[in-house]
Amino acid sequence: MLRPELVLIFATLLWGTSWIPLRAFAEAGISGMPMVFASYGLIALVAVPLLWRQRRAWRGQAWGLLAIVIFGGWANTALISSLSLGHDIVRLMLLFYLAPVWAVLGGWLMLREQLTALRLGALALAMVGIALTLGIGLDTLKPLEGVDWLALSAGFAFAMNNLATRAANRIPLFSKTFAAFIGSVAFAGVACLLLDQGLPTLRPVTWALVALFAAGWLLATLAAQYGVTHLEASRAAVIIVFELIAAVLSAAWLGDVPLGPRECVGAALVCVAAVLAAWPDQPQPALPRSAT
């Protein structure tokens, strides 16, 4: 079996560098909700027949599939909407990256996962690393506004989606992966109607690249679903934060943002937290046999 920790890190690397093709698509004339609707819609064309074909496998846990559709769909739509409508990107990303906190609490309350000192320490280290990497100021602590609630709800929905993915252990991996895309298409379609945004007219080669991007996003989501399914929520939640480091380092490498000492220390803390979260649990010592 593939190591779920490494598969999950692979997914975060793809997610963290996805801003590069998304920027190129924005320059080509498609971004925001229309981009979500177009790319996820292409996947949904394959998803619906596959889900119907596997209906016998997930029928006993239909509640889990519905939860993935709702929470997975809302996480993508709310995050992209907040980043499109908001101005303080650092504040929005900090609110979204509270997701590990929700995941750890949810895993403890709903899945009865054990909270060890190592897990809690890794979570605390990751949150400090996030704050250092993104940077916080006085504006970060002001009362929440509408767009802030979007980012906060996106992080909460993302954590709930991962919990539902782990809890729905009898649903096939492909069904869980495609379900999130169906939810995203539904929410993005509603958002396009409310915001009066339609699909732009693009060249055929651009549509082909959108389809290629959708395939890459599908691969990343499939890898993430695999990792989340085989890892405790408290471990997966910290490892997923590595996505932020991939985004920051790729932006610095391409010369978009400076990489100073604060960002380096924050990135190092997140990396250490991810290693601690991925560290295998110590086996419990065997109880001595009673004398006969």
User: How far is 153 from 132, CA to CA, in rounded Å?
Assistant: 22
> What is the rounded average pLDDT of the residues 118-144?
79
Percent of the chain with pLDDT over 90: 16
> What is the rounded average pLDDT of the residues 42-64?
86
Domain assignment present for 269: yes
Residue 49, class by beta-carbon neighbours within 10 Å (0-12 exposed, 13-18 middle, 19+ buried)? exposed
User: How far is 290 from 194, CA to CA, in rounded Å?
Assistant: 69
Alpha carbon distances (Å) from 84 to 88, 97, 169, 208, 231: 11, 17, 35, 24, 32
User: 24-33, 166-175, 210-219, 259-268: which has the minimum mean pLDDT?
Assistant: 259-268
Domain assignment present for 61: yes
> What is the rounded average pLDDT of the residues 239-259?
79
Asked if the model's pLDDT at residue 289 lies above 60, the reply is no
Is the pTM here over 0.95, yes or no? no
Q: What is the pLDDT of residue 279?
A: 67
Domain assignment present for 116: yes
Alpha carbon distances (Å) from 56 to 60, 63, 155, 168, 246: 8, 14, 31, 14, 38
Domain assignment present for 134: yes
Domain assignment present for 284: no
User: How far is 226 from 195, CA to CA, in rounded Å?
Assistant: 34
Domain assignment present for 290: no
| Per-residue tokens: 76 | 């993508």
Parent domain of 91: 4-278
How many domains is the chain built from? 1
Residues 6+ apart with CB under 8 A from 98: 152, 155, 156
Cβ atoms of residues 203 and 72 within 8 Å:
no
The SS3 of residue 257 is: coil
Domain assignment present for 283: no
Domain assignment present for 242: yes
Residues 6+ apart with CB under 8 A from 36: 76, 77, 80, 184, 185, 188
User: How far is 129 from 117, CA to CA, in rounded Å?
Assistant: 18
